[in-house]
Structure 1
Amino acid sequence: MDTKIITDEEGFLQIREDWERLTDLDPDATYYSTFEFNYSWWQVFGKDRNKQLFILCHYRDNEMVAIAPLMIRVIDKKIVKCRVLSFLGKGDYFNFIIDSSTFKSASIIRELMNTIEKQAVQWDKIELTHLRMETQLLKYLMRHDRYSKHTEYLTSCARVDSDDYESFADFEKEMLNTKLRRKKVKLKDETGYRFRIVTGSESDDMYDKISRIHLQEKKYLNEVKGRRERASLFEDSYNEHFLKRMFKGNDKILFFYLETDDGDIIIYKCCYLYRNVLYGWNTGYSPKYSHYHGISDVLLMEMIESLFQSSCTKQLDFGAGTYSWKFRWTNRFSVSYSFTMWNESSQQSRLLRLLTQSRDILRAVKGLKNAL
């Protein structure tokens, strides 16, 4: 029984075969667990000197049976720096990757957590987020006398599952109303739209198309709707580099969109495909069609109908966020939690907690004054 820690990109690349094997064996794995996602993300965002790899690889009988895909982020608070141990990447689901076919998951997770605690000199805070309630990692943390008090509700993820219905007609009967159907008919009559599905391996220019639309949408919302807070992930050069790497030749990236006869995209939604699940992560619409109310509803209707016709996709995951519009499409959802624990032996940690408490007190006092 042994646990090794990988801190360099060369070591990261060397465990690719084991990583992919473990992902295939772990029933809790999502697309955010895959080697291609994590390695692609690190090759771009790992160039930040404030990020350090901290991948734990656990072995039993000289065979790797688990990976904790972690990193240490240094957050500069000016007065003091905080070293945060967190998951690699950015997504809606994170987890340790475990082969529990021979050894119990709880036993493996215990060894990984013990290693993390033995390395406490390297971190001031653990921040593991987006832990889905069905996973063995969350169950372990919730049952642990020490860890459970640091585990809290974070968000919910709604999901449509075609297996919950006999047919799309049954889904329509239960979840759709006359108003939604009228939106679809109206848009079809006035634009003659086509519903299309394209993978990253089938198109080399989809990144350019959707980034242009998303930036146009952001500009429209800022300037016309007065929503100054609205930003676009395509404005960030790091995101651009990462997404272009991910899109290129990737048949696990799917683009769903409505287009006019002349090829003008009305609205799109991008998803990652993994184990028959579509993980939605980005959507955007052309401001030219903003006067049509409910174009996002029309696209979702087309996407959900495609689930019933496809042999490789069965579920549509709306991603993290407890928004009412998501739950109008489904009765199925999962709950995600976060695990946040300070290093009690770290002087920096104690100072940061003191500063945080002082800030919260000042905010409370200011709020009280404003109320009076």
Structure 2
Amino acid sequence: MEYKIITTIEDFTALKTDWQRMENQSHDVTIFSTFDYCYTWWEVYQHKPELKLWIIIVLHNNQIAGIAPFIIERRNYRLGLKIDVLRFIADGDYHDILINIDLNINPDSIFKDIFSIIEENGSSWDYLHLSHINYKSPFSNFLFKSKYNKHFTYLIESPYINLSLYDSFDSFSKINAPSKAKQYVSRLRNKINYELELNSTDIELFSQIHKKERDFLQNKGNLYRHSLYEDKNKVAFINELASLNKITSFSLISKEDNKLLIYNWGFIKDNIYYSVNTAFDPSYSEFSLGRVMYYEMLKLAKDKNLFSVMDTGTGRYPWKFEWTSDFNILYQIQIKKPRSFIHKSILNIKAIFFNK
């Protein structure tokens, strides 16, 4: 077994051609595991001292057979103890390991090699936490039947809407749309002359709307509601993706005063729209804007063939299931090294009591 562990951005950059070829070989690889997404994330976050690049490259006859896009993150644990967590790079609704299908190697053998490499380098990490793994992926299949099965557990659902099953939007909406969705659309049109704009992406404006929605929901008692735009690194990452034209956005705009009513942005890959973020202006909270937006988005997507499937993002919110009964199940694998925790705890206690 030959392998490399990539720890510098220069070596990361050199992976671009192979990585992009592999990401295009399989529909199992979502936008969140593509080179551009992961590389852009690392460009933004590489300055953080608690993060270390740790991409495993499995080689076969000097060719890349597999890429495991990992980082090691140092986190606070207990009593001042810090632990090193091995996890997927970037943040997203799905994560995966890339396999070079052209080499005709059984993916299971590559996954097995990756875990052997992880174990061989056990001194580099204390806790393995790989999350958001689609239950239908080859990686999941390997974990289900491997010795790691007991560590591989349910995490969350991600509902999706499959438009490809229907000849038209009307046939889809008659069966799947909430009973009053069309009524909500008509009510809003009677009050506001609006239009749906595609790719009028304005991250700063989206940020303002999202924070207004956060404040509105907090005032209604949802004290745990936060905004991703509060984090400057996340904003920088989103802006970088927007500058690369990776983001697809939908905006309902009032034609009279050009006000943004609601937006939804995400990514399209392999005819799937991955919805990442949405928010509405609380000034229009009476109009069920979320349902109107879904109705208009899905209608446009079907009419213009923008995408066949809309992945609504992780989370089992009731309003998502108003439109579909389909969902992906995401799993996670968690492995803690007890000896590592005990050793670090002892060193930490010694430091507290004897290094004064």
Q: TM-score, normalised by structure 1?
A: 0.88
**Partner of 2:106 in structure 1?**
104
- Confirm or deny that 1:132 pairs with 2:134: yes
Distance 1:17 1:43 in 2: 18
Larger deviation, residues 127-136 vs 214-223: 214-223
Q: Cα deviations across residues 57-88 of structure 1 (Å, max 9, x unaligned)?
A: 11112111210000111112343211110000
Hey, which bits of structure 1, 4+ residues long, moved more than 6 A? Answer: none
The whole-number CA distance in structure 2 between the counterparts of 1:287 and 1:258 is 14
| Residues 210-249 of structure 1 mapped to structure 2, 5 A cutoff | 210-223=206-219, 225-249=220-244
Question: Equivalent residue for 1:185?
Answer: 186
Q: In structure 1, which of residues 203, 207, 215 is the aligned counterpart of residue 203 of structure 2?
A: 207
1:370 aligns with none
Q: CA deviation at 1:348?
A: 4.1
Q: Aligned partners of 1:237, 1:310: CA distance in 2, in Å? A: 35
CA–CA distance in structure 1, aligned partners of residues 342 and 87 of structure 2? 17
Letter matched to residue 186 of structure 1: R
Corresponding letter in the other structure for 1:181: K
Query: 1:338, 1:3 → 2: CA distance?
Result: 24
Q: Distance in 2 between matches of 1:291 and 1:311?
A: 31
Query: TM-score, normalized by length of structure 2?
Result: 0.92
CA distance in 2, matches of 1:222, 1:308: 35
Q: Does the CA-based 8 Å contact 1:125-1:349 persist in structure 2?
A: no
CA distance in 1, matches of 2:107, 2:290: 41
1:301-328 deviation line (CA, Å, top 9, x unaligned): 1111122123341111011112222112
State the match for 2:122 in structure 1.
120
C-alpha offsets along residues 204-261 of structure 1, whole Å, 9 cap, x if unaligned? xx112111111222223334x24332211111111121111111141x3111111111
Quick one: distance in 1 between partners of 2:82 and 2:312? 35
Q: Which of 257, 264, 271 lines up with 2:266 in the alignment?
A: 271
Q: Is the 8 A contact 2:178 2:322 kept in 1?
A: no
Does structure 2 retain, via aligned residues, the 8 Å contact 1:124–1:348? no
CA distance in 2, matches of 1:318, 1:280: 5
Give unpaired runs (5+ residues) of structure 2: 347-356
- Paired with 1:222 and 1:345, the residues of 2 have a C-alpha distance of 43
1:309 is aligned to 2:303: yes
Distance 2:207 2:303 in 1: 29
Distance 1:16 1:348, change over 3 A: farther
User: After superposition, what is the alpha-carbon deviation per residue over 1:105-159, rounded to whole angstroms, capped at 9, x for unaligned?
Assistant: 1011111111011001111110000010111111111101x20000111111111
Please say if residues 82 and 349 of structure 1, whose CA atoms lie closer than 8 Å, have aligned partners that are also in contact.
Answer: no
Root mean square deviation of aligned Cα: 1.8
Report the equivalent of 1:72: 72
Aligned sequence identity (%): 29
Please state how far the C-alpha of 1:52 moved relative to its aligned partner.
0.6
Q: In 2, distance between residues paired with 1:343 and 1:349? A: 10
Matching residue within 227, 249, 254 for 1:255: 249
